[in-house]
Structure 1
Amino acid sequence: MNKRAIITSALPYANGEIHLGHVASTYLPADVTTRYLKQKGVEAYYICASDDFGTPILLQSEKLGKTPQEYVEHWNKRDLEDFTAFNINFDFFYKTSSPENISFVQDVFSKLYDAGHIYESEITQFYCKTDKKFLPDRYVKGSCPYCKAEDQYSDLCESCGKVPEEIDNPKCSICGQPPTKEKTKHYFFKLKNFSEPLYKWLDENQNLQKDVKKYVQNWIKSGLVDWDITRDITWGVEIPLDDANGKVFYGWFDNHLAYISTALKFLNDKGIDGKEFWNSADIYHFIGKDIVYHHYLFLPAMRIGINNEFKLPDFIPTRGHLTLESKKISKSRNWYIGLKEFLGYYPADYLRFYLISINPYSQDDLNFDWDEFATKINSELIGNIGNFVNRALGFTAKSFEGNIPPPSDYEQIDNDAKQKILSLSSELDELMSQNHLDRALKKILEFSAHFNQYFQHKEPWKKGPGTDTCVYLSVNAVRSIAISLSSFLPESSEKIWQQLGLSETPSKQPWETISELNISSGHTLGKSSPIFEKIESEDIKAHKNKLGTKNL
């Protein structure tokens, strides 16, 4: 593990509210990982930005009578507010429309152009005679030529994840009429010339998921095509060439460069050499499986094209999509739950717990189910962790006035319990370092369940021999839980810490201290009370009934 790290996640598009599907695969896993790395003593920074350019934003701002700048500024602010309420702790949140990113994008293009990786070519593009404009990307909908999925945008099939050369059965997304074809000049990136170095990089990077690597390598074997990096619209980063008036960069050319430009802005403002830090750090890009093509091909090819001036990612944790009650999330059909809406119902840690617990480190899709959510919170978070914490601390407060007694002789069951504490940090570390966050959370649940059984077996309320040892070990086990949960459930972890009567915060404790018995005899606990509240079935029924009926 490197002593430096930069963590990014796919940039939220500044075109609407953040919903549960957004946070499940990218932002929450990235946040948990960043918190873990910081506990490990890594100088880690979580960097993000709103993705401000492109056709959908231009379309929507025109409908609302706003300038694109006004429109994206609103969503940049709103997105950050929602993320913050969910305890997604960015070290810096910026925007792709920043002057720093625009300058950086133009500089990268110029270097690629000077190196011979860019060429101009006349193409035939869809044109709507009704709306009198060329129709790039999301101005055109149709059928995917690869998997035949209907109602797909021309720049990305959300069903198979491929980027079509040309969409089948095209329709103008503004007026619905079939477009004609007209000639225009565009600039292309010679992606197919990078097949060999891309394949080599994938082959040599052992940190990437094997199934994703194989998937992308098969794409390369089947033959890459050069990439059209310009669009005939008014909202985007202008191309820095005299004969490119009226053209801007395709959003996927500029947006991932904001990973770098935003990191440089943040680090340089802190007095750190941003470029040197980037190239000496572990680089993480957390993404969903729908943008594998861009992050495994476009992004690394562009960095290779500027002579690896900025290192390629070491990790690209890729997870599947979230469905809602086993149906695809769709804002147009009102089949979604906004993050802000959800946080009006339940604490952020309830959602963090549930999403992490059902989200494996794979491309498999996961499903949000209201009934399962309630069951997991009530039986696992409350019935397991909450129950043990309350039993151990509540009993100590009642029977020992909150003062920790010194342990007496250890029986075998006490030695086993102590060993559970001593081995927890290394067991969790192995899972966290491999990005198996769901398994790590399960390990914490197993740890808590063991101590529930231990407490029950020792029966300290009978005040028999070994009671002091049971209390001493149980309270220290609560401390271990608080530290290990701090990456997953920061608010709940802090509440437990306060009830333990400890200073600082659990997130500031070094990782290895999870397995230390640092609460000594004579320590006095804080005030004890239940950490969590049960979810009622009537409320769940109401939330389910509301799906699909919200007013947009």
Structure 2
Amino acid sequence: MSTTENNTDTTTNSPSAVKRYLITSALPYANGLKHIGHLAGAYLPADIYVRYLRARQRDVVFVCGSDEHGTAIPIQAAKEGTTARSIIDKYHPIIQQNFADLGISFDIYHRTSAPLHHETSQEFFTHLNNNGDLEIIDSEQYFDEEANTFLADRYIKGTCPNCGYENAFGDQCERCGTSLSPDMLINPVSTLSGKAPIKKATKHWYLPLNRHEQWLREWILEEHKNDWRTSVVGQCKSWIDGGLQPRAVTRDLDWGIQVPVAGAEGKVLYVWFDAPIGYISATKQWALDNDKDWKPYWYNTDTKLVHFVGKDNIVFHCIIFPVMLKLHGNIVPANVPANEFMNLEGDKMSTSRGWSIEMDDYINDWIKKENGGSQLADTLRYYLTAIAPESKDSEFTWKGFQDANNSELVNIFGNFVNRAFVLMHKLCNGKVPPVHTALLDETDEQMIEAIKQAPRKIEQLLEEYKFRDAQFEVIELARKGNQYMQKKEPWILAKKLAEQPELQQQIDNCLHICLQLTANLAILINPFLPFTAKKMLGMLKVVDKMLVWENAGKLKLLSVGYSLRAPELLFRKIEDEEVKAQIEKLQAASSAKATAAVTALETVPAAVTAPVKQEIVYDDFAKLDMRIGTIVEAVKVPKADKLLQLQVDLGFETRTIVSGIAMHFAPEDIVGKQVTVVVNLAPRKMRGIESNGMILMAEDAQGKLHFVNPETAINAGAGVS
């Protein structure tokens, strides 16, 4: 098959037209352990979807792997006093095993250091380059004459122009958090030699995204405006409206995939270019391992490609990689259900600050320490799905984790299954009782109907990537089972059997329905809690084949007279002491990191504090006219990394204001925010745009900007005095 055979740009594939599914999760950097925020963002949702598709008996391949190139790897190697190769060989197997321990069921977990990936990436580059889809641009970049190498941003240090910290990196100041570029540093030096670098001419290959704006606008903003998540479409719109620019696909580094053209010695493919190609090389390796043909998964339009990522990867998977795929003759994604971020105990997760829960730590603390600890893998899966940041940032708390386990898994789901088994053994000799159709009453029929209807509702939510709501419906069905059992009270009927033996038929009906519901719950919970589903199969004495989705909603999954095993508790309660220990561990880790950071700064000059400005009189201040405004539109200013163009409603009119806040706020996140505006400032042109006002901002000790706004919303145009 040629690279263009059977290919079009169309990705609108209805379920009936889809013959195969290719599901990807963002490749994690193999430079350290990954935390549960990563798990919640790109891996658990994908696994739920894949397990559902497998239950539907779809042709599905789930690929992922370690991202092992880019400056993050050699930088970590320098920290640990080892080589880049040693770093990826250390962390790749740990991350892979962490995913397996938490039930993430990749068909293949590959590596971008693999020869097959290098070959695939180089072929991809060559195809685009030979077709004229790349352009070469000459520029000047910092060069270390002693080390004889061009310097990536992280290999340059200097004085931060914002806070005066003398060891700021070329991409960010780690004291005040300000995003930087090497040209902004004062007195820059190379971290390799300690000498001042020079500017030296170099050439790089660029992907001219600007050529594809119209196609992206039609494909994303028109074709997918209704079926992609609002946050995804909004972020893409902001980038497209701001004007796309050519993006370099090569770098001057010695760690990465060599650029396969003459005159590119010492250059490697930029990591953002080679990493997503890892999905293709992983599919190739899977096909080789399983004697399959990989090409239909990447070239046939009856394949549905879905990328699961966090919101920081939206642009790469919705704009940049689709352009690459289109130019290469591949299909483009049908959906990119990106999640927002998950915070932890009131703050953003950060491994560097010790404010995170690593997957490895959770596994060691909760799963490996306990016999049958896979139940606690499912507890984490359950809670992360229950608070999934599908439409906005969410927050993990250890108290919430405990409550979700004890109140929902133990008291609702586990309680229903346990009661059904205990009563079956006590009142029906450990066998599935018969159903006496003539005696079924309205309560029985309502429960039967709920069992029949639940799968269709859950299925629809899963198809729409609403995993949080879908899981809720499974728990809701178990809740209905508890309510049904309470209404029927078979234990009360059992006390009357001596005088009314005919009541056994009502007991039979109740427990027959409850056991059939239990079998249905095993099918429905399987995508979410696979270890629990497997344990339920053991209790029911049935094989994995029962978990096929078409069995959901059926009332004859268990044969009358079939003996079932004794009940086992599906979940255990989590005690207050366990939660307290985890909170103390988190606080201790954070304190240790903070102490280390303070120690590192002790030899560094104190941050520069801006002096108080010259004294003014009240009449000078009274000249300022400050009003409350509401941001109604925000877009990036083309070719300006720091500027946003805002439309601000001032009550009496809407004004255009250009503000240098793009490094601190995403455009889509500030629409609707109220701000304080100096409205009588003389207009000023910035990048050809006339700005009519200034928005007041406050800057904290870390250099992060904050809006100066009212505590509660008030009318636009209100005066500030």
Q: TM-score, normalised by structure 2?
A: 0.70
Secondary structure in 2 aligned to 1:327? coil
User: Which structure 2 residues correspond to residues 509-520 of structure 1 after superposition, within 5 A?
Assistant: 509-517=547-555, 518-520=557-559
1:134 alignment counterpart: 150
Which one-letter code corresponds to 2:321 in the other structure?
A: L
User: Which structure 2 residues correspond to residues 60-209 of structure 1 after superposition, within 5 A?
Assistant: 60-127=76-143, 133-139=149-155, 174=191, 181-202=199-220, 203-205=222-224, 207-209=227-229
Let me know the Cα RMSD of the aligned residues: 2.8
Distance 1:444 1:167 in 2: 55
Would the aligned equivalents of 2:153 and 2:182 in 1 still touch at CA under 8 Å?
A: no
Distance 1:230 1:371 in 2: 47
2:260 alignment counterpart: 240
Structure 2: 5+ residue stretches without partners: 1-14, 162-166, 367-375, 495-502, 594-721
Would the aligned equivalents of 2:40 and 2:342 in 1 still touch at CA under 8 Å?
A: yes
1:301 alignment counterpart: 323
Distance 1:526 1:493 in 2: 15
Query: CA 1:11–1:141 in 2, change beyond 3 Å: closer, same or farther?
Result: farther
Render the CA deviation track for 1:14-37: whole Å, top value 9, x for unaligned.
100121111011011111110000
Secondary structure in 1 aligned to 2:487? helix
User: Which structure 2 residues correspond to residues 341-420 of structure 1 after superposition, within 5 A?
Assistant: 341-346=361-366, 347-362=376-391, 364-408=392-436, 409-420=439-450
Would the aligned equivalents of 1:8 and 1:259 in 2 still touch at CA under 8 Å?
A: yes
1:426 alignment counterpart: 456
Render the CA deviation track for 1:221-253: whole Å, top value 9, x for unaligned.
221110011111100010011211111111001
Which one-letter code corresponds to 1:201 in the other structure?
A: W
2:663 alignment counterpart: none
TM-superposed deviation, 1:168: 5.2
Q: Which has the higher contact order (CA 8 A, sep 6+)?
A: 1
Distance 2:209 2:251 in 1: 17
1:534 alignment counterpart: 573
Which one-letter code corresponds to 1:441 in the other structure?
A: Q
1:285 to 304, 307, 328: 307
TM-superposed deviation, 1:135: 3.1
Query: CA 1:221–1:61 in 2, change beyond 3 Å: closer, same or farther?
Result: same
Does 2:533 correspond to 1:496?
no
Render the CA deviation track for 1:48-102: whole Å, top value 9, x for unaligned.
1100001110122234343322221221111111111111111111111111111
1:148 alignment counterpart: none
Which one-letter code corresponds to 2:208 in the other structure?
A: K
Which one-letter code corresponds to 1:78 in the other structure?
A: I
Would the aligned equivalents of 2:23 and 2:60 in 1 still touch at CA under 8 Å?
A: yes
Distance 2:315 2:190 in 1: 24
TM-superposed deviation, 1:172: 6.8
Does 2:231 correspond to 1:211?
yes
Secondary structure in 1 aligned to 2:205? strand
TM-superposed deviation, 1:129: 7.7
Would the aligned equivalents of 1:129 and 1:180 in 2 still touch at CA under 8 Å?
A: yes
1:444 to 474, 496, 509: 474
Secondary structure in 2 aligned to 1:344? helix
Which one-letter code corresponds to 2:44 in the other structure?
A: L
Which one-letter code corresponds to 1:354 in the other structure?
A: Y
Secondary structure in 2 aligned to 1:42? coil
Distance 1:91 1:37 in 2: 13
Secondary structure in 2 aligned to 1:463? helix
Distance 1:283 1:371 in 2: 37
Would the aligned equivalents of 1:394 and 1:529 in 2 still touch at CA under 8 Å?
A: no
Render the CA deviation track for 1:467-515: whole Å, top value 9, x for unaligned.
111100011111111111111111111111211222x126x62212110
**Structure showing the higher helix proportion among its residues:** 1
User: Which structure 2 residues correspond to residues 453-532 of structure 1 after superposition, within 5 A?
Assistant: 453-463=483-493, 465=503, 466-502=506-542, 504-505=543-544, 509-517=547-555, 518-532=557-571
Secondary structure in 1 aligned to 2:136? strand
Render the CA deviation track for 1:98-143: whole Å, top value 9, x for unaligned.
1111111111111111111222222122456897753324446899
Render the CA deviation track for 1:256-286: whole Å, top value 9, x for unaligned.
0111121122124423221123323211110
Which one-letter code corresponds to 1:315 in the other structure?
A: N
- Mean CA deviation greater in 12-21 or 54-63: 54-63
TM-superposed deviation, 1:164: 9.0
Identity of aligned pairs, percent?
Answer: 33
2:296 alignment counterpart: 276
Which one-letter code corresponds to 1:198 in the other structure?
A: L
Which one-letter code corresponds to 2:242 in the other structure?
A: S
Render the CA deviation track for 1:432-459: whole Å, top value 9, x for unaligned.
1111110011001111111101101110
Query: CA 1:19–1:481 in 2, change beyond 3 Å: closer, same or farther?
Result: same
Distance 1:152 1:477 in 2: 61
Distance 1:536 1:461 in 2: 30
Would the aligned equivalents of 2:325 and 2:331 in 1 still touch at CA under 8 Å?
A: yes
Render the CA deviation track for 1:158-185: whole Å, top value 9, x for unaligned.
9xxxx99888558779599997644322
Does 2:585 correspond to 1:546?
yes
Q: TM-score, normalised by structure 1?
A: 0.91
Would the aligned equivalents of 2:420 and 2:511 in 1 still touch at CA under 8 Å?
A: yes
Would the aligned equivalents of 1:138 and 1:173 in 2 still touch at CA under 8 Å?
A: no
- Mean CA deviation greater in 511-520 or 349-358: 511-520
Distance 2:190 2:308 in 1: 30
2:269 alignment counterpart: 249
Would the aligned equivalents of 2:98 and 2:359 in 1 still touch at CA under 8 Å?
A: yes
Which one-letter code corresponds to 2:550 in the other structure?
A: E
Secondary structure in 2 aligned to 1:328? coil
Query: CA 1:450–1:173 in 2, change beyond 3 Å: closer, same or farther?
Result: farther
Structure 1: 5+ residue stretches without partners: 146-150
